[in-house]
Structure 1
């Protein structure tokens, strides 16, 4: 468990989980928060109870489907079963003390907040949501000017490990030809994608220049982070944000 490292600590709470400190057994060891990956549900529930000790109230969770759908949270909630969660990949709220949660295991978690702390959002930045302009669609929910919004990019698969096909390259260059610079062509007709650079380019294009990240690679950090690309059968990390 680690705090989000950006200058908004006084007005916004943020947590990034790691794979450490939970009850799950291999291959989910140990702080797996995903009920849908084959882990023992009772153990996952125990991990959620540990997480809740660090939160002001139960988090709002999604059924993430690699879409560009954004849900605005207008009422405080109790934790929902997976079958009851909305199918979307981003959350936005103005509510105080209502954590928003995104799960990942290589995709890029993106936290957004107005600099006054009155609006927050969490985005599941897989390549499909990013190619669907999920960042822009989430930013459209904000009333704060774009120049007064900060972004934090959490741990994700790094630019030396994220191998993709030409279909992914084409999906991004169709929306912005400059995205070609976010890919490195390999000899096997594949490409290495820099998902951090993709997100930063989209944020800059929206006028958001206050971007913070440690640029940690999940794939190359097996002792700290889950990685689907590395292990296939594995747990899920959570990234959370809330208004204080």
Structure 2
């Protein structure tokens, strides 16, 4: 059985899928939807087909991009034959399911129910820092959305107690804006702990969305439900599964 995490703030069909209900095995056990992983491509295709079915679309209408930790956004009006390098998608076309893959980074789903415009963004620290969330809002506005009518929901992501970073990482944020220091607390020794979802919510609210929330699920701490790049790295695993989040009109 697939497990779908949803939010009452989004009135359209959507889901932050957990790893449950997939066909993959081993370190990828469950619903690994990462075509860039070393999992068997045939198995990943089965997993993505299950997601498409849950979203009520044919597999070609489950639209993803080649994610590169950028602030680039693609406006989609039909299924893509090639996956462009970008980290967010928007559409006003019914029948398309926009989707992003994550494994600790923030999956963010956007919806303007009045204009009937939706978006999906992959927002790790670098993408959020570079402005992928604001770029997604701008692309939605180009399709007729209004920021004050947009709800943005951050799905399962790494939480602050699990996100240890170094001084150089901290200085990147502090140099950009001293107010960013609020998203860090002291960790072990000279390490710090970064609050990625709080930073994402801050950027969204500063950008003027009507509603912003986090589902409050931590990918690192719940290995039964979520894949985690950082947890896999700490365990010395060679690869890791990718979670998928999707939204459609």
TM-score by length of 2: 0.89
- Deviation of the 1:52 alpha carbon: 1.6
User: Deviations 1:98-143 (Å, cap 9, x if unpaired)?
Assistant: 1111000100111111132611111101011011011111111123
> 1:154 is matched with which residue?
155
When the two chains are superposed, the root-mean-square deviation of aligned CA atoms in Å is: 1.6
> 1:47 is matched with which residue?
47
> Aligned partners of 2:231 and 2:129: how far apart in 1?
23
> Aligned partners of 1:146 and 1:177: how far apart in 2?
26
> 1:31 is matched with which residue?
31
CA contact (8 A) 1:20 1:31 kept: yes
> Aligned partners of 1:25 and 1:186: how far apart in 2?
34
> 1:235 is matched with which residue?
241
CA contact (8 A) 2:110 2:150 kept: yes
1:90-109 alignment runs, 5 A limit? 90-109=88-107
The structure that is helix-richer by fraction is 2
CA contact (8 A) 2:201 2:213 kept: no
TM-score by length of 1: 0.91
**Equivalences, count:** 236
> Aligned partners of 1:149 and 1:116: how far apart in 2?
9
1:5-154 alignment runs, 5 A limit? 5-9=7-11, 12-57=12-57, 58-74=61-77, 76-77=78-79, 80=81, 84-116=82-114, 118-143=116-141, 144-154=145-155
Runs of 5+ consecutive residues of structure 2 not aligned to the other structure? 234-238
Runs of 5+ consecutive residues of structure 1 not aligned to the other structure? none
